[in-house]
Amino acid sequence: MNFDPYATLSQNEIESLHLQNKEVESLVRQVLNNEPGLKLLGYLEAITILRPSVLIGQDPNLGYFREGQNDIVRQLISILEQGSSTGSLRKSFFSQRKSKLA
């Protein structure tokens, strides 16, 4: 079953959401595309994505909550990766990140 989040929206509402998304992406790049921002992103990744979503014995619903947290950090990383071919700080962060995950 496919879910279309835009199915009930008018064309104007869809265009407005796309403009908001572009603004958020721009803000993420402005805030995180520097040494302190990438350090913060590394910390967020360490306390979310690099940890298990749920441990044996925990309420399984915690996994859904944790995956929501992980998704937010993945979105931030994805926004920065979209332009990662230009910034040396981003290149450094993402090469370190890949070596941690390997």
Range of the domain at 75: 11-101
Q: Is residue 1 part of a domain?
A: no
Q: 49 and 98 in contact (C-beta within 8 Å)?
A: no
Nearest to 41 by CA among 78, 83, 82: 78
Q: Is residue 83 part of a domain?
A: yes
Compute φ and ψ for 33, nearest 5 degrees.
-85, 55
How many structural domains comprise the chain? 1
pLDDT tens readout for residues 9-34:
788 887 887 888 899 999 999 999 99
Q: Is residue 6 part of a domain?
A: no
pLDDT tens readout for residues 31-61:
999 999 999 999 999 999 999 999 999 998 9
pLDDT tens readout for residues 48-102:
999 999 999 999 899 999 999 999 999 999 999 886 655 566 666 666 666 665 5
SS3 state at 19: helix
